[in-house]
Structure 1
Amino acid sequence: MVPVSFAFPFCGDEFRLVQQRALFWPRENALLVADLHLEKASFFAQHGQLLPPYDSRETLERVALAIRETGAKRVYTLGDNFHDSAGSGRIEEHAAGMLSALTRMVDWVWITGNHDPSMEANSGGTIAVELELHGMVLRHQAMRGETRPELSGHYHPRVQLKIHHRHIRRPCAVVAHNANQTCGRMILPAFGALTGGMDAADPAILKALQPATAIDAVVPTRQRLARFPLWRTAA
């Protein structure tokens, strides 16, 4: 397991990547997770594609572990919390109990996404379309042209690495820097157990983070946070 001791400087503050997929904000004592896609398996089952119906349990176990590791008192989810808006009413009893316990344990805020724009907080927490916290915008999908610091999800970014002659795809954060490198925007990896991924260098991701002078993929390893350049402005 990747430790939480790697500092992640961003916009003049300190963040930490947790479990390779979540972001901890120590100053706010807050955990941020994107794209949980709870009840994705049950959604597919409704359409005839049967998958093991335990994805929500596994995802919520991951969230609970991240809360314990960090001591977070707040959780912000950055959209696509459920795979569809009806998922919040379809969640099976055991997972619903897990979620209710988590939303009682911490101050929980659901930011909605394109998959769940009409979700209801049936298991606790509060709902918002987006938030601005200490000048940082929290939303589901990066808004092209945004000049404020921004944290988002939506794209499920991954990067391909070559380790010991093997090609491995890892979830990553994608960070865009502005001209003076003092601030920027970040897309978080998908946190859910049943989520795929998009190449971090995909044009859709790079376009969403403009304007920028540099865009990097950030991947936690056992020893350090590794950065991989994805895009640079022409010299």
Structure 2
Amino acid sequence: MVPLSFANQEFTLTTSGALYWPGERALLVADLHLEKSSFYAKHGQMLPPYDSRETLERIALAIRETGARRVFTLGDNFHDSEGSARLEPHAAGMLSALTRATDWVWITGNHDPHMEARAGGEIAEELEIAGMVLRHEAKAGETRPEFSGHFHPRLQISVRKRRIRRPCAVVSTSETSGGRMILPAFGALTGGMDAADPAILAAMQPAERIDAMLPAAGKLVQFPLWRREQNLV
């Protein structure tokens, strides 16, 4: 875990892609996509049916490591709105234990807009906590500090002729807002989009700068993605 300052508050970014907010004792995770394998199995593409277990085990570990008492998921919790009904008994029991042990809130996303909290927790389209907006997809033009997911950002760089791809957070700073952050996808079966993709950069406007951030070797590593002064005509 590495410390990260954002919107005048201190946070911790875990190597698994969760964000811990000490001031609220809250863990933020995005894009779990639980039951993705069973969704594909319904459509004839067989995948190992253990993705939900793995994802929930990683959440449980992050809760133990941070001591979080609250959990906010930032949308696309299940791969589809019926995913919670397909959880096998072991995974369902794991999720039920987690939602009982914490103050758990599901923020819905485009993959699961009509999901039901069958295993506990509460459901919201978006929230504002301590002046911070929590939603699934970054809203261009938002001037309040914002946390979101949706894009599954990955940093893509070349090092010694090797192409390296790592999940990362994307963070913007602006004179007109307190900053905005897109979290990496947390789920076991989630791919990723280039953090410098134009769709991500556009969603983070207005901004003075946009950076990719990820933990590496116990430190927060920051890579510039976009600078306003470099894009002025």
1:196 is matched with 191
Secondary structure of 2:104's aligned partner: strand
Residues 55 and 194, structure 1, Cα contact 8 Å, conserved in 2: yes
5+ unaligned residues in a row in structure 1: which ranges?
none
For residues 39-50 of structure 1, the aligned pairs below 5 Å read: 39-50=35-46
Which AA in structure 2 matches 1:206?
Answer: L
Residues 20 and 219, structure 1, Cα contact 8 Å, conserved in 2: no
2:203 is matched with 208
Residues 20 and 172, structure 1, Cα contact 8 Å, conserved in 2: no
Which AA in structure 2 matches 1:221?
Answer: A
Whether 1:218 and 2:186 are equivalent positions in the alignment is no
1:106-130 Cα distance to aligned partner (Å, 9 max, x none): 1100000000000000000000000
1:52 is matched with 48
Q: TM-score, normalised by structure 2?
A: 0.96
> Once the 2 structures are TM-superposed, how far is the Cα of residue 91 of structure 1 from its aligned partner?
1.0
Task: Pick the aligned partner of 2:174 from 178, 189, 196.
Answer: 178
Task: Pick the aligned partner of 2:100 from 98, 104, 118.
Answer: 104
5+ unaligned residues in a row in structure 2: which ranges?
none
Which AA in structure 1 matches 2:146?
Answer: E
Whether 1:61 and 2:53 are equivalent positions in the alignment is no
Separation in 1 of the partners of 2:158 and 2:25? 35
Residues 19 and 66, structure 1, Cα contact 8 Å, conserved in 2: no
Q: TM-score, normalised by structure 1?
A: 0.95
Residues 143 and 178, structure 2, Cα contact 8 Å, conserved in 1: no
CA change 1:164–1:68 in 2 (3 A) is farther
Secondary structure of 2:140's aligned partner: coil
Separation in 2 of the partners of 1:57 and 1:15? 27
Residues 157 and 198, structure 1, Cα contact 8 Å, conserved in 2: yes
> Once the 2 structures are TM-superposed, how far is the Cα of residue 179 of structure 1 from its aligned partner?
2.3
Whether 1:118 and 2:114 are equivalent positions in the alignment is yes
2:5 is matched with 9
Which AA in structure 1 matches 2:94?
Answer: M
2:31 is matched with 35
* Two-structure CA RMSD over aligned residues (Å): 1.3
> Once the 2 structures are TM-superposed, how far is the Cα of residue 86 of structure 1 from its aligned partner?
0.3
> Once the 2 structures are TM-superposed, how far is the Cα of residue 223 of structure 1 from its aligned partner?
3.5
1:34-86 Cα distance to aligned partner (Å, 9 max, x none): 00000000000000000000000000000000000000000000000000000
> Once the 2 structures are TM-superposed, how far is the Cα of residue 168 of structure 1 from its aligned partner?
1.7
Secondary structure of 1:186's aligned partner: strand
For residues 67-82 of structure 1, the aligned pairs below 5 Å read: 67-82=63-78
Task: Pick the aligned partner of 1:231 from 212, 226, 232.
Answer: 226
1:95 is matched with 91
Whether 1:146 and 2:142 are equivalent positions in the alignment is yes
Secondary structure of 1:234's aligned partner: helix
> Once the 2 structures are TM-superposed, how far is the Cα of residue 164 of structure 1 from its aligned partner?
5.9
Report % sequence identity. Answer: 70
Residues 20 and 220, structure 1, Cα contact 8 Å, conserved in 2: no
Secondary structure of 1:174's aligned partner: strand
Residues 168 and 184, structure 2, Cα contact 8 Å, conserved in 1: yes
